[in-house]
Structure 1
Amino acid sequence: MSAPRTARTVKKALVIGGGIAGPVMALALRKAGIEAEVFEAYETSAEGIGGTFMIAPNGLGALAVVGLEAEVGRIGQPVGPMVIEDGKGGALAEFAGLPDLPRGRLMRRAELYEVLRRRLRETGVEVRHGKRLVGAEEGADGITAHFADGGSATGDLLIGCDGTGSTVRTLIDPAAPAAQYTGLLGIGGYSAYRLPGRAGRGETVHFANGARAFFGYWGLADGSGTAWFSNIPQPEPLTQEQVREAGMAEWLRRCRELHADDLPARDVLRQADPATMETFPRLEIMPSVPHWYRGRMVLVGDSVHAPSNSSGQGASLAVESAVELARCLRDLPDHTAAFAAYEAMRRPRVEKIAADAARTNSQKASGPVARMLFRVVAPIAMKTFMSPEKMLRPVHGYRIDWERRVVPVGRAGRAA
């Protein structure tokens, strides 16, 4: 039986950002007995927008806390063993996952977004579009958010789930660091090429450091083709307009050129359809953010801890943090104490994962000599210090105990 809860002073939260972290934050707050309202800067919803990503076992566990386990389990496809390859079609190592954990799921962002939107409607959480935050004014009893359209809203707290370009982060600390460009441009899409064997049945996911760029691919579960992506070294960041002007046919040509000596990338790209492609011109990470909260404002998800896409943990860590913040606000009546407990609980974990992913990113952007060295040492590393148990357990095995009571941060600066 869980410990009795303390009377709360937080009754309503303003959630800034309607992507993934924001809706999960609102659902977790409702589960904790706190009213939530979501404000999204874009005029329209994001149905059909966004690429493919993975929700890892830890992210699935966090989504299960807010009652989405069954719905999320019906979208996308399960992640099988992850195969690390040499770019020539040969396997260097294979991560089979951990048998006691659920398999992660590959899905389009739009699929998860629709699940979240549907649950928000069912639970009566309102999402207001066209509400770009421009400022916030704190008072003794609450905080008022001001939007570019001249409107405003008042609540007890303001929670920034507004991504790497977070406005809330700059309101908390005008000197806060901005997101950093990784030196990589992301491109992905679909191909009619059918992989042989278990890969063609969607049972495995493959990653390869090619001769000039990183390539990832997996067979679609229905056997109709292959999903793929490439992380292309791009020293100077491009704008979305620059990428769009080049055109998808040109980007596909560049991918084919970069992977001309890589297998099976060369064959996959030969049958790739530019109409299915999406580009991500600025793959970004968040450096360590000194201040996660101030007064009645706090940050969640990519606004405060965006690891590189190499981690496979961006969305999973975001939903974890949303649920954990809701626990803290549920159990600690003083919002400052709740924010402190939340940061103490989350900062060590997310920064460790981000640091590990940054090292992987440096390998993706490395030159041919470093790539060759990686191919030599990878098989040994996978059997020793990079074994699935050592690599995956601390990350994928994380579970949120919703019923466990959160207590204030102790003298050591960690939530007990």
Structure 2
Amino acid sequence: MTSVLISGASVGGPALAFFLRRHGFTVTVVERAPAPRPGGQAIDVRGAALTVAERLGVLAELRGLRTHMKGTSMLDGDGNELWRSTEVALSSGRLGGDDIEVLREDLTGLLHERARQDVEYVFGDSITSLTQDEHGVRVTFERSAPRAFDLVVGADGLHSNVRGLAFGPEREYVRHFGTYLSIFSTDNYLGLADWQTWFNDGPAGGAVYPVRGNTELRVNLGFQSEEPIEYDHRDVQAQKRLIADHCAHVRWEVPRLLKAMWAAPDFYFDSMAQVHMDHWSAGRVTLLGDAGYCPSPLSGQGTSLALVGAYVLAAELSTAPNHEAAFAAYEARMRPFVTLNQALIEQNREAMEHEPTEESGVDHAKNAIRLPDL
């Protein structure tokens, strides 16, 4: 029985664990966080990823948890409305379609519940080294005793630990776009009802939208910088200071939102970037989702790529004669799909500056793959 270690318990990792376990693999998931991570923005499940969600057995529940935005507005720095739309939302695209927008924590919670049966989860730990030979991969951890696995999958995000250990420094693969974004929660003191409000004031701006029956706001605050900014990916207070410093000049409700940010327990911050690699596999180690081919949140397709990638990787591993053939088939099937979806960022950047239309390149990109049988 093939043993697989998956690093990362967000979206791609649990989805892959579910499909692999169903086909007889022994699966362990290691996650640095002490439990499934709360908070996060609204994310989209689109096109082929809806089919994957159905095969995971979570599609009906996702539909019940979807957001219910009725439209979106764009404001200038003084809070004056530049445009509004009841047809399209900047976070999710065309309203009223088959695609599902859901809070990240709701999706990850469903996937964890679906995948944890007969899957070993190790929270609060991280991989420190990978040593490969013809028999498998010897793995050492920060806290757990060393273990051996047949295969290792890095599903651990833009700043992938597995990618760093198996492929080398992040700077060789990550392309930054000069945009930095935070997400956190606060009370819906604005009284927004199923409506997104975006705002822009020069190089800084963001969005607010209600969730949880309009009782809570999810807040995005971010900024652009021509020069790359160095910051500690695990120092939340330093990240909050970056947002405060770069958004201090922004008007409208931003001073109050910044005050709420300092009290938010679920603050998250990162740069908008993509990952580009010639190969996603090295020996017995491969990458999944943002770790190998992050399209950036500006594409709106990171979650869908992770779900589809998990399904395709599981399918190839369950049918190929060996891991080399499986990894090659996985890359061959996924790479054109990834390329199309990574290209969406330019269109979405333009939508931030002009009123969006219903026509969208995502309608083609989200379905541009044939899912194998599993």
SS of the equivalent of 1:327 reads helix
SS of the equivalent of 2:43 reads strand
Q: Which contiguous aligned blocks of 4+ residues in structure 1 show a shift greater than 6 angstroms? A: none
TM alignment of 1:324-403, pairs within 5 A: 324-357=312-345, 360=348, 374=353, 378-379=354-355, 382=356, 387-397=357-367, 401=371, 403=373
Residue 25 of structure 1, CA deviation? 1.2
CA 1:82/1:295 → structure 2, altered by over 3 Å: closer, same or farther?
A: farther
TM alignment of 1:1-400, pairs within 5 A: 11-42=2-33, 44-47=34-37, 49-58=38-47, 59-75=49-65, 77-80=66-69, 83=72, 85=74, 87=76, 88-91=80-83, 94-95=87-88, 101-107=97-103, 109-121=104-116, 123-149=117-143, 151-174=145-168, 177-188=172-183, 189-195=185-191, 200-202=192-194, 204-220=195-211, 222-224=213-215, 226-234=217-225, 235=227, 236-239=229-232, 244=237, 255=247, 257-260=249-252, 269=257, 274-276=262-264, 278-357=266-345, 360=348, 374=353, 378-379=354-355, 382=356, 387-397=357-367
Residue 299 of structure 1, CA deviation? 0.6
SS of the equivalent of 1:351 reads helix
Mean alpha-carbon deviation: is it higher for 223-232 or for 14-23? Answer: 223-232
SS of the equivalent of 1:19 reads coil
- Residues 50 and 99 in structure 2, CA contact (< 8 A), matched pair in contact too: no
Matched residues in 1 for 2:175 and 2:68: separation?
A: 29
In the alignment, structure 1 segments of 5+ residues that lack a partner are 1-9, 365-370, 405-416
SS of the equivalent of 1:341 reads helix
- Residues 31 and 66 in structure 1, CA contact (< 8 A), matched pair in contact too: no
- Residues 252 and 274 in structure 1, CA contact (< 8 A), matched pair in contact too: no
Which letter maps to 1:304? Answer: G
Residue 111 of structure 1, CA deviation? 3.1
Match of 1:410 in 2: none
Which letter maps to 1:231? Answer: G
Matched residues in 1 for 2:267 and 2:178: separation?
A: 14
Q: What's the CA shift string for 1:255-308, capped at 9, x where partnerless?
A: 473133xxxx56984995753475444324233112211221111011111122
CA 1:170/1:252 → structure 2, altered by over 3 Å: closer, same or farther?
A: closer
CA 1:238/1:166 → structure 2, altered by over 3 Å: closer, same or farther?
A: closer
Which letter maps to 1:51? Answer: G
- Residues 17 and 162 in structure 1, CA contact (< 8 A), matched pair in contact too: yes
- Residues 78 and 103 in structure 1, CA contact (< 8 A), matched pair in contact too: no
Residue 187 of structure 1, CA deviation? 3.0
Matched residues in 2 for 1:305 and 1:240: separation?
A: 19
CA RMSD of aligned residues (A): 3.6
Residue 33 of structure 1, CA deviation? 3.4
Matched residues in 1 for 2:122 and 2:29: separation?
A: 6
Matched residues in 2 for 1:173 and 1:403: separation?
A: 30
SS of the equivalent of 1:283 reads strand
Which letter maps to 2:98? Answer: P
Matched residues in 1 for 2:320 and 2:15: separation?
A: 20
- Residues 211 and 259 in structure 1, CA contact (< 8 A), matched pair in contact too: no
CA 1:79/1:313 → structure 2, altered by over 3 Å: closer, same or farther?
A: farther
SS of the equivalent of 1:105 reads strand
Matched residues in 2 for 1:291 and 1:272: separation?
A: 42
Q: What's the CA shift string for 1:325-352, capped at 9, x where partnerless?
A: 1111122222212111111121222233
- Residues 29 and 121 in structure 2, CA contact (< 8 A), matched pair in contact too: yes
CA 1:305/1:241 → structure 2, altered by over 3 Å: closer, same or farther?
A: closer
SS of the equivalent of 2:328 reads helix
In the alignment, structure 2 segments of 5+ residues that lack a partner are none
Residue 41 of structure 1, CA deviation? 3.4
Matched residues in 2 for 1:240 and 1:329: separation?
A: 33
- Residues 182 and 282 in structure 1, CA contact (< 8 A), matched pair in contact too: no
Percent pairwise identity: 23
Matched residues in 2 for 1:275 and 1:150: separation?
A: 33
- Residues 126 and 143 in structure 2, CA contact (< 8 A), matched pair in contact too: yes
Mean alpha-carbon deviation: is it higher for 305-314 or for 220-229? Answer: 220-229
Matched residues in 2 for 1:27 and 1:255: separation?
A: 42
Matched residues in 2 for 1:212 and 1:74: separation?
A: 37
Q: What's the CA shift string for 1:106-163, capped at 9, x where partnerless?
A: 31x4333332332233x21111234422222333333332323462233322111122
Residue 318 of structure 1, CA deviation? 1.2
SS of the equivalent of 1:282 reads strand
